[in-house]
Structure 1
Amino acid sequence: MTERIYAKYWIETPFPVAMAAEVMAGEQSSGTFTRLANETDELRAAHGARVESIVELDDVADPSLPIRPLPADMRGSARFRRAEVVLSWPLANLGPSLPNLLATVAGNLFELREFSGLRLLDLTLPPAFADAYRGPQFGISGTRELVGVASGPLIGTIIKPSVGLSPAQTAGLVRELVEAGIDFIKDDELQANGPHNPLTERVDAVMRVINEHAERSGKKAMYAFNITGEIDEMRRHHDYVVAAGGSCVMATLNAVGLPGVAALRSHSEVPIHGHRAGWGLFSRSPHIGISYIAYQKLWRLAGVDHLHVNGLRNKFSEPDDSVIASARECQTPMFAAPKPGCTVMPVFSSAQSAEQAADTYAALGNTDLIYCCGGGIFAHPGGVAGGIASLRQAWEAAALGVPLDVHAERHPELAQAIRTFRK
């Protein structure tokens, strides 16, 4: 049987749903707005997208998104029907190519005049994609091995202020963090190779601190240096990080694109930390865009090892159930053996502190994650050391099933965090 690509969508249309689904299929494969002489039945059978299923949902009186004026006979009486639709394409149309997959499943169809809402919900890909792309090199187990943390979450943070610090000032913060026992540190997505804090100078200053601390203590924190840039620039900066003893690089996914991440993965010797800055452009509206369930599969195949998923009670607009669903999906294999299913480590961040640890553990059911706290560490009354201690104590309470307030009675750093961050 011909290998096929499957994509699931939510749609809203004033037209008959079956007709609208056929318009999608035609636009994204062999068809155009009218039938062509050389679009033979044989060609359509071999290369046309198929409507695999339609599940009709509710309907509404008004369009969710702006839509072209309806035909005169529909005005005033149209209902906007909603449905879940699955389309499929033969792999032969594009081959196992992530850039061309994106153009196929999330291309012009968002602009089609037949729709007042359209959202890509999920993707199911044939094994040829697993053969064509490297996927994560380290993932959860490899990251744990590099950091030396066999169980429990990796406690992490982000350098703040995001921009404005010099390399020496950045290294000063890192010194505080590693001496307090942090597992993971990352650059902010806004700080890559700016003139006030050049990447190479930052690497020199930061890795001097990390390496010296590792020699003294035997614990080497992982620092994700933001090397986002042109492809050749990312390769050069990756090599500089590795030569200095660094164990992680970071790329802003939407900025460098799928080919950029795939090129970095083919070159990289260390984990790639994937930051999803700009994600709200795809996710904020429920009526258009891409679900994280589909989105993260593309980046996992391209080769990232860590993926941001937001956090519970975050400072952004994403609800908690979406955050947990995203994290679970990152940990769910996409393919069978021999590849380990392209699982990656979810990164929880955005206004996180000791307060969310128990709920995160209860909802996710495991600790295979990076728990990144900025203010939850730096704004702790006990300083950086107190902030990090409070996080470890909170996750310890969660794993033991002990209520946070009870555990805080014997752990002063946790008690301080509760008083400071509880809303």
Structure 2
Amino acid sequence: MTEQRITATYEIETAFPLDQAAATMAGEQSTGTFVRVPGETDELREAHAARVEAIEEFGDVAAPSLPGSGLPKDGGDGRRRRARVVLSWPLSNMGPSLPNLLATIAGNLSELKAFSGLKLTDIVLPPAFLDRYQGPQFGVEGTRRLTGVYDRPIVGTIIKPSVGLSPDATAEQVRVLVEAGVDFIKDDELQADGPHCPFDARIAAVMRVINDHADRTGRKVMYAANLTGDVDEMLARHDHVVANGGTCIMASMNSIGLPAMKQLRAHSRLPIHGHRNGWGMLGRSPALGMSFIAYQKLWRLAGIDHTHVNGIDNKFCEPNDSVIASARECLTPMFDPPHQGCEIIPVFSSGQSVRQAAPTYAALGSVDCMFAAGGGIMAHPGGPAAGVRALRQAWDAAIAGAAVEEAAKDSPELKAALGAFGG
């Protein structure tokens, strides 16, 4: 029986011959060192050495993209090439372990002197990982069931100011938002358990508002409580959210790490809103780090149900095609049938308003997403309720294939929003 293998794809930049550069990557991340050593038998190399599966040359660059790179001993041919390299490893090298997978596919590669650029762009994992990792518990279907929102995006927003509000002040802002008709509210990633707004007090105050509203209307707004902390703190905070009737928790993925997320997922009875803050350190450089395509697969397996992908024409540096590629990947199965797909909800955010509904729908081709707006709701001239209605009207028009300006003729909230958020 053929052993399952892990495949990783990279974009590299090097002054070394491409075959030599790829072999250096494979050796560094499996059996090799800079010289052959006792014990590194042909049999061992055959069983455990990483394989170079493909090399595709892209062209040359005029100067190194990163400092500290070197040249071949003979000085090279004066060219610095860009290429795509695909490597693979037998599963037995590390087993179905996300932390050790990360050490294998990333590890020391970015520090190798042979490279002036090296970025992980994708990974393909064997289904053996599903035997150990549970993946998302709720995903798209479960989140829709808990919010009661179908056939359109889940409209969300974020508590602002990010920090400084007391538990009662936070609850008052939540009251305004739930009465405005929003579907989803999340804490800011900066607000977890500060002395001015302790987690337990904040959740108790906020959930009183949400539960009272649900009792009156039959509609329970989902609130993602930021429980980021040490593992024991997060598990206790999860239980506090459940005890108060909450329906979602949030954790900063890069702050807690994959093993902590796995433990939180195993304990959780609620959807996990995975916040990717800090991802720019991994993804922003075209010459270093990893793509979101690869990154989100690790966290999906660890158990998140939603994650941010920025948004069309967002306030950050990410271009629109990258945003949409990230969102599509969240909705793409990771494994072939009959294995589970691990699809999660992409969350569009960062300076979003009615202006981005149509281009987002046109590019994504799906309503399976969250569309989170802060100022796009709170700064509406008619108030937050009009802001929520305007966003829904904009999405209704997009889904129907109608121009937003045409739809605004019969929708005063949408017309006001277009005027307020023009340009």
Place the TM-score, normalised by the shorter chain, in its bin.
over 0.9
Give the aligned partner of residue 205 of structure 1.
205
Paired position in structure 1 for 2:147 = 147
- Alpha-carbon contact 1:282-1:291 (below 8 Å) kept: yes
Q: Is the 8 A contact 1:130 1:335 kept in 2?
A: no
Aligned-pair CA distance for 1:155: 0.4
Q: Verify the 8 A CA contact 1:64 1:287 in the aligned structure 2.
A: yes
CA offset digits 1:287-327 (Å, max 9, x no partner): 11101110000000000000110000000000000000000
2: distance between equivalents of 1:227 and 1:33? Answer: 45
Per the alignment, residue 46 of structure 1 pairs with: 47
SS at match of 1:202: helix
Letter in 1 for 2:307: L
CA distance in 2, matches of 1:310, 1:114: 34
2:85 paired residue number = 85
The corresponding residue for 1:280 is: 280
Q: Distance in 1 between matches of 2:235 and 2:394?
A: 39
Query: Residue in 2 aligned with 1:12?
Result: 13
Q: Is the CA contact (8 Å cut-off) linking 1:276 and 1:308 kept in structure 2?
A: yes
Q: Aligned residue for 1:363?
A: 363
> Hey, what's the Cα distance between the residues in 2 that align with 1:78 and 1:104?
31
In 2: Cα distance, 1:256 partner to 1:235 partner: 13
- TM-score for the superposition, normalised by structure 2: 0.98
- Does the residue aligned with 2:220 lie in a helix, a strand or coil? coil
Task: Please give the alpha-carbon distance, in whole angstroms, between the structure 2 residues aligned to 1:340 and 1:146.
Answer: 21
What's the secondary structure of 2:32's corresponding residue?
coil
Contact residue 156 and residue 182 of structure 1 kept, 8 A: yes
Q: Shift of the alpha carbon at 1:67?
A: 2.7
1:61 maps to what in 2? 62
Which residue is equivalent to 1:101? Answer: 101
Report if aligned partners of 2:26, 2:87 keep a CA contact under 8 Å in 1: yes
SS in 2 for 1:10: strand
- Aligned partner of 2:176 in structure 1 is 176
Preserved contact between residue 147 and residue 183 of structure 1 (Cα < 8 Å): yes
**Distance in 1 between residues matched to 2:260 and 2:348, nearest whole Å:** 24
Structure 1 residues 76-110: Cα deviation after superposition (integer angstroms, max 9, x where no partner): x5211111110000000000000000110011001
Q: Which amino acid aligns with 2:155?
A: I
CA shift for structure 1 position 55: 0.8
Equivalent in the alignment of 2:392: 392
Paired with 2:259 and 2:352, the residues of 1 have a C-alpha distance of 32
Q: Which residue of 1 aligns with 2:253?
A: 253
Distance in 1 (alpha carbons) for counterparts of 2:369 and 2:380: 22
| Residue equivalent to 1:244 | 244
The answer (yes or no) to whether the contact 1:251–1:272 under 8 Å persists in 2 is yes
Report what 1:138 is aligned to. Answer: 138
Q: Which residue of 1 aligns with 2:322?
A: 322
Name the counterpart of 2:123. 123
Query: Partner letter of residue 99 of structure 2?
Result: P
2:34 is the alignment partner of 1:33: yes
Q: Secondary structure at the match of 1:310?
A: coil
Deviation, structure 1 residue 336? 3.2
CA displacement at 1:72 relative to structure 2: 7.0
Structure 1 residues 123 and 50: alpha-carbon distance in aligned structure 2, compared to 1, 3 A threshold: same
Q: Letter of the aligned partner of 1:285 in structure 2?
A: S
Offset, 1:70: 3.1
Amino acid at match of 1:29: S
* Deviation for aligned residue 1:69: 4.6
The whole-number CA distance in structure 2 between the counterparts of 1:339 and 1:205 is 41
Deviation at 1:37, TM superposition (A): 1.5
1:333–1:342: 8 Å Cα contact kept in structure 2?
Answer: yes
Question: Which residue in the other structure is 1:378 paired with?
Answer: 378
8 Å Cα contact 2:187-2:226 kept in structure 1 = yes
Contact 2:71 2:114 in 1 (8 A): no
Identity value in percent: 64
* 8 Å CA contact retained: 1:227, 1:234: yes
Amino acid at match of 1:202: R
Shift of 1:66: 1.0
In 1, Cα distance between the equivalents of 2:201 and 2:353? 31
Tell me what 2:335 maps to: 335
Contact 2:136 2:303 (8 Å CA) reproduced: yes
AA of the residue aligned to 2:175:
R
Instruction: Give the residue type in structure 1 aligned to 2:341.
Output: G
The residue aligned with 1:266 is 266
Q: For 1:281 and 1:241, how far apart are their aligned partners in 2?
A: 31
Aligned length: 422
Q: Which runs of 5+ in 2 are unaligned?
A: none
Q: Which one-letter code corresponds to 1:332 in the other structure?
A: T
CA distance in 2, matches of 1:394, 1:195: 40
Q: Which letter maps to 1:46?
A: A
**Normalized against structure 1, the TM-score is what?**
0.98
- Match for 1:163: what amino acid? V
Contact 1:136 1:342 in 2 (8 A): yes
Counterpart of 2:316, as a letter, is F
Contact 1:182 1:388 in 2 (8 A): yes
Q: Secondary structure at the match of 1:62?
A: coil
